Chain A
Amino acid sequence: MIPALRRYARALTRDADIADDLVQDTLVRALRSERLFLGGDIRSWLYTILTNLNRNRRRSLARRPTLSPLGDEADANGTEAEGRDIERALAGLVEEQRSALMLVMLEGLSYREVAEIQGVPIGTVMSRLARARAHIKASLEGEKIALRRVK
């Protein structure tokens, strides 16, 4: 479970240290809470805590500009370039859309589980997914067009 939480946190925050801080905070809260021992779906619950903690974190940072690492574009091989493109595209999403997309596509959760985690109806999860995919598709295609123009 911890490897999956780390993956989700890394993709959400795009920063290894912040991601592990989030996972740590999540586990601390989980261990402190009695709900863990009362049963229920631990997996969804941990994703819920992490999602909320990240939202708090982002709120407190809301006024700061978003920083994205500057890679050396010329040196990047295909995989790195693709990784950077997808990262940039994900960074352009609204928080709720990014979280929904990651829970479904990276973590393999069901729409129902994501709806519970985000505290919204399934229809909202679906529209978030649809918007996220449209945005990323456009963003990736935009990168390709831009590259072609340069060449």
Chain B
Amino acid sequence: MTEPIMPVTEDELHAFVDNELPGDRRPAVEDWLDTHPEDAARVAAWRRIGEAMQRRYGAVADEAIPARLDLDHIARRPRRRMIAFAAAVLLAFAVGGGIGWFAHNASAAAISAPVEPVIAMREEALAAHRLYIAELRHPVEVRAEENHLLPWLSRRIGTPLRSPDLTKYDFKLLGGRLLPGVSAPAALLMYENSTGERVTLYATPLKMARTSFRYQQVDKFASIHWVAENYGWVVCGPADKPRLKGIAMAAIEQSDRR
């Protein structure tokens, strides 16, 4: 006859399954399970849950690790901004020289002709739009929540930059980034709506006479550009003329108020 057994608690049953039970209680729990089939069934069911989880997810640990999770790769990340910057600089050169992002679409005559600064600006803005709206994780350099975004970009492009309120169009400011423009730094603000569509607003110093809105569509994308008070502006987004025009109006109202 053994000593009277202290009743086994549910906590102890869990601890038993998880190997968290103090060694001296194990025999008592084992005895208890021998004489309490309902508890034994519960313990068996819990173990089966663990086994099913292992079968379902255990193999993930055996998969090859994707390159983006490689520690060397991640440790190098801060430098990637430099690479992006370098790529943007090269792109700016190419566009400025007339051999643009879209050179493969352009005729030889178009390549040899000098590109108007305003056209170069539009192409740069569109290239930046295409490049950065495709980024899921790093669409912007500085997020809208960081309140230095606008002061910083304003300082770099040399004019007070305000973010137009596009809530009327369901677009919310994600943030922005600094880009090398045609002749001076450019600011790019990115907005996103609830369905994931993105529009960008590009602004850069451009010494030119004021122009009106110019709408242009390039396959799925469209842009509206204009020049006002020695700044060039480009709104890029999905090809939807009335909506894009509304957004451009909101931007011009905002910039006129400075």
Contacts and interface: CB of A to CB of B under 8 A. Distances in A.
Interface stretch (B61-69, B126-134, B157-165, B196-204): B61-69
A2 B54 contact: no
A31 B11 contact: no
B57 A105 contact: no
B137 A21 contact: yes
Given A86-B53, A86-B56, A105-B53, A3 B63 contact: yes
Interface of A: 2-4, 6-7, 10-11, 20-21, 23-24, 27-28, 31, 79, 82-83, 85-87, 90, 101-102, 104-106, 110-111, 126, 129-130, 133, 136-137, 140
B69 A2 contact: yes
B66 to A, nearest CB: 6
A107 to B, nearest CB: 10
Given A7-B61, A126-B14, A137-B49, A27 B56 contact: no
A79 B75 contact: no
Contact of A6 (B45, B52, B53, B65): B65
Given A6-B60, A10-B60, A136-B49, A79 B55 contact: yes
Nearest to B46: A133
B contacts with A: majority SS: helix
Candidate in A28, A106, A130 with the most chain B CB atoms within 10 angstroms: A106
How many residues of B sit at the interface, in one of the four size bands?
Answer: 20 to 34
22 contacts: A6-B60, A6-B61, A6-B63, A6-B65, A10-B60, A11-B56, A11-B60, A21-B137, A23-B69, A24-B69, A83-B52, A83-B56, A85-B52, A102-B53, A104-B18, A110-B20, A111-B20, A126-B11, A126-B15, A130-B14, A133-B49, A136-B49
A105 B65 contact: no
B208 interface: no
B74 interface: yes
A90 B56 CA distance: 11
B50 interface: yes
Given A86-B53, A133-B46, A133-B49, A7 B60 contact: yes
Nearest to A1: B71
B55 A83 contact: yes
A28 B11 CA distance: 38
A3 B14 contact: no
Given A6-B65, A137-B49, 16 more contacts: A3-B60, A3-B63, A6-B61, A11-B60, A82-B55, A83-B52, A86-B49, A86-B56, A87-B56, A105-B49, A126-B11, A126-B14, A133-B14, A133-B49, A140-B45, A140-B49
